[in-house]
Amino acid sequence: MTQDKSKTIYSYSGNLSFDIIEKILFKSKNKIDVLGFEHIVNKRVYSVLVECLENTYKHNKKTKHTPKHEQVELVLENSDTNFTISISNYIDKDNLTELASKIEKVNSLELSELNSLYRDAISKALISKKGGAGLGIIEIARNSRQKIVYNIIRENGTGIYLNLQIKVAGKLK
C-alpha cells in the first residue's frame, strides 16, 4: 500500500483584508488548476476556500497577540486523493457554542439534507449585522461532502483560537 503524501500548495499567515483575500484566491486557484484534478473538484475546493476566507474575515476577533501568532493561518494541501484546507483564527468565546452546534448539525446530515437546509436558509435569507446569512458552514459542508473538523488551539481572554479542517475528495483526470 502506498502512502498518500500531502504537499502544501499554498499557505498564508497574517491579517485579512479584501485585497489579501483576492490575492490568496487568485494564487490558490492558479495552483489548484494545474494539479490535474477534475474540474468539479477544483470548483469545490475553490468554493470551500472562498467560504472559509469570507467567514474568517467576518467573524475574526481582533486581539493583541505576540508576533509569533498571527491573526489568521491558512494552509491548502493536496494529495493524490484529496485537498485539505486548514484555517485558524480567533473568535469570540461567546460564539463557540453556536458555531460548534452549526458544525455538528451539518456533519450529521446527508448531502440531500444539506441541500434542503440550504434552500430553507436561502428562503429565509436574514442578513446578520456582520453581513452574512448563516450559509457559510452549510456551503462548506455541501461543497466538501466531508465532515468539518474543528479544534480549539488556545484561549486568550475572551477569544478562542479555532482551527477548521476541511477535506475535499477528488481524483486526478
125 or 120, higher pLDDT: 120
pLDDT band of 67, cuts 50, 70, 90: very low
Cell of 3: 502512502
Is 70 exceeded by the pLDDT of residue 41? yes
Cell of 122: 436561502
Q: How far apart are the first and last CA of the chain?
A: 21
% residues pLDDT > 70 (the chain): 87
7-169: CATH number: 3.30.565.10
Give 3-state DSSP helix, strand, coil % of the chain, rounded to 5. 45, 25, 30
- Reference 88, options 1, 6, 20, 16; nearest CA is 16
66 or 95, higher pLDDT: 95
pLDDT 10s digits, 142-167: 999 999 999 998 887 788 899 999 99
14: left (phi over 0), alpha (psi -120 to 50) or beta: left
Is 80 exceeded by the pLDDT of residue 106? yes
Is 50 exceeded by the pLDDT of residue 98? yes
Is 67:88 a contact under the CB 8 Å cutoff? no
Crossing angle of helices 96-107/136-144, nearest 10°?
30
Is 90 exceeded by the pLDDT of residue 141? yes
Q: Mean pLDDT, the chain, as a whole number?
A: 87
pLDDT 10s digits, 4-15: 688 999 999 998
What's residue 65's pLDDT? 56
Dist. CA 32–CA 76, nearest whole Å:
10
Is 90 exceeded by the pLDDT of residue 77? yes
Is 70 exceeded by the pLDDT of residue 69? no
DSSP 98-165: HHHHHHHHHHTS-HHHHHHHHHHHHHH----TTS--S-HHHHHHHHH-S--EEEEEEEETTEEEEEEE
Q: What is the dihedral of CA 108, 111, 116, 119, to 10 degrees?
A: 110
